[in-house]
Amino acid sequence: MELDLFREYGHRFVDWIADYYQNIESYPVLSQVGPGDIRRQLPLSPPDEGEDMERIFDDFKKIILPGVTHWQHPSFFAYFPANSSVPSLLGEMLTAALGAQCMVWQTSPSGTELEEVVTGWLRQMIGLPEGFVGVIQDTASTATLCALICARERSTDFSVNRYGFTGGEKPKRLAVYSSEHAHSSIEKGAKIAGFGREQVRLIPVDEKLRLVPEELEKSIQRDLASGITPCCVVAALGTTSSMAVDPLRPIGELCKKHGLWFHVDAAMAGSAAVLPEFRFIMDGVEYADSFVFNPHKWLFTNFDCSAYFCRDAGQLVNTFSITPEYLKTDVDMRVKNLRDWGIPLGRRFRALKLWFVLRFFGVKGIQDKLREHIRLAEEFAGWVQQDERFELVTPVSMNLVCFRYNPGKKKLSEGELERVNKALLDELNAGGGMYLTHTKLGGKYTLRMCIGQTSTGRKQVEEAWKRIRSAKLEA
């Protein structure tokens, strides 16, 4: 290894990164390049001869950086946060340095055992009952796919794994249920796992955009009557559009009554359960078979790190385990081999950065940060309500404010409102000072202000509101 080079550039990169964070507000949040702008500056073929590190680093700054959207910018309010932190970065650096493959216990015992410990810590932090065991997956999408495959196998006595969907003695059609506001990863997972999009039921929601349990029951009954086997319900703890919280208890009771797998998708809102005053969102979680939340969204741990919890690890292992000769080890009966706990064989040592984050901030430090984000969201929502030209589209939920420009006196149609609000969004994002995204709620074009970046404070939220109010609001 070129260790001298590593020492030199390692130190310079750390300095560059510290400067980057210090000056991050001088970059436009949303990358301002157009399609093809980056590719056009890069050679079509790889270099024959090795190049100088200085030139590569220069090109990173000159060519690559302008094509980056700055997710760690404190005025990033789009989609959901993917917040990082200093302890996370330092932990990630060590993970990259070790370059360990944590596929089986023997290939890095610490990889497996630290993952057991930190997912156990997370379980306690969010109030999941004892008996749930955790494993780190790359994303919530993968975790939900794992849940759907486990549900499929439990419903069919592991016959799909064995024969495929149509090869068994009694081929079944299996249905999956979620609210019409649930995340797209459920439909994607249902397609990949072989349920078929036609067997995904999108259940209506109430005025707060929460799944209506009575509608779920009706849908289950309809499937039973037509010979389709209800298999799995995915509840959303914090929908992506509006952070709506499906009522876990009545949904869980229905799952129990009909013998359905109950998966809870708490990708972002799981973090809120770290706060005692938001623990109520977990009411009924004891009915769940599986649960996922993303420390890589709103828990200061850099992407990727998704925590998947399941009630019955045996179910998971029986669904995914394949042990070819070359993967057998002498200790297999005494340890966990996490390759059997998910889809990929190879696994990154993700537990390390999470361990750094949890130890460095402590539960109290994390609670303080989450509370501040939620307080800022409430303050922002208050400003929206006080300005008669704006309105909240739904009540503020945790760290998300759904709002829009709508001067009631002007009586704009939905079409006009969409046009004006889209123009507002485009103007704000093109300015580079902040980044917001939109959704549609009950047909209404809605702006989403999601507050969760590690370094976001009152200053940035106040500036955002100023920018929104002083935008050119024609119509």
List residues binding ligand PLP (CB under 6 A): 80, 139-141, 183, 185, 236, 238-240, 265, 267-268, 294, 306
Integer Cα distance of 386 and 191 in angstroms? 45
Tokens of 132: 């749930």
Q: How far is the CB of 200 from ligand PLP (least distance, A)?
A: 15
Q: How far is the CB of 443 from ligand PLP (least distance, A)?
A: 21
Integer Cα distance of 81 and 211 in angstroms? 24
Q: How far is the CB of 116 from ligand PLP (least distance, A)?
A: 21
Which residue, 134 or 238, has its beta carbon nearer to ligand PLP? 238
Q: How far is the CB of 383 from ligand PLP (least distance, A)?
A: 25
- Residue 475: C-alpha distances to residues 7, 31, 418, 430, 439 (Å): 58, 28, 11, 20, 21
Tokens 């409102």 identify what position? 417
Q: How far is the CB of 240 from ligand PLP (least distance, A)?
A: 4
Q: How far is the CB of 228 from ligand PLP (least distance, A)?
A: 25
Which residue, 139 or 399, has its beta carbon nearer to ligand PLP? 139
Q: Shortest CA distance to 341 belongs to which of 302, 274, 292, 294? A: 292
Q: Shortest CA distance to 454 belongs to which of 267, 271, 239? A: 271
Which residue, 244 or 352, has its beta carbon nearer to ligand PLP? 244
Q: How far is the CB of 185 from ligand PLP (least distance, A)?
A: 5
Beta strand residue intervals within 286-399, DSSP E: 290-293, 306-310, 390-392
Which residue, 335 or 343, has its beta carbon nearer to ligand PLP? 343
End-to-end CA distance of the chain: 63
Q: Could you tell me how far CA 388 lies from the centroid of its own chain?
A: 34
Which residue, 202 or 473, has its beta carbon nearer to ligand PLP? 202
Which residue, 428 or 450, has its beta carbon nearer to ligand PLP? 450
Which residue, 139 or 315, has its beta carbon nearer to ligand PLP? 139
Which residue, 140 or 254, has its beta carbon nearer to ligand PLP? 140
Q: How far is the CB of 419 from ligand PLP (least distance, A)?
A: 28
Q: How far is the CB of 264 from ligand PLP (least distance, A)?
A: 10
Which residue, 156 or 399, has its beta carbon nearer to ligand PLP? 399
Tokens of 7: 């020492």
Which residue, 73 or 183, has its beta carbon nearer to ligand PLP? 183
Tokens of 59: 């090109």
Which residue, 122 or 468, has its beta carbon nearer to ligand PLP? 122
Classify burial at 42, counting beta carbons within 10 Å of its beta carbon; exposed 0-12, middle 13-18, buried 19 or more.
exposed
Q: How far is the CB of 267 from ligand PLP (least distance, A)?
A: 3
Q: How far is the CB of 36 from ligand PLP (least distance, A)?
A: 26
Q: How far is the CB of 109 from ligand PLP (least distance, A)?
A: 27
280 and 273 in contact (C-beta within 8 Å)? no
Q: Shortest CA distance to 397 belongs to which of 202, 255, 209, 263? A: 209
Helix then strand then coil, in percent of the chain rounded to 5, is 50, 15, 35
Which residue, 107 or 294, has its beta carbon nearer to ligand PLP? 294
Integer Cα distance of 464 and 466 in angstroms? 5
Tokens 């220069």 identify what position? 58
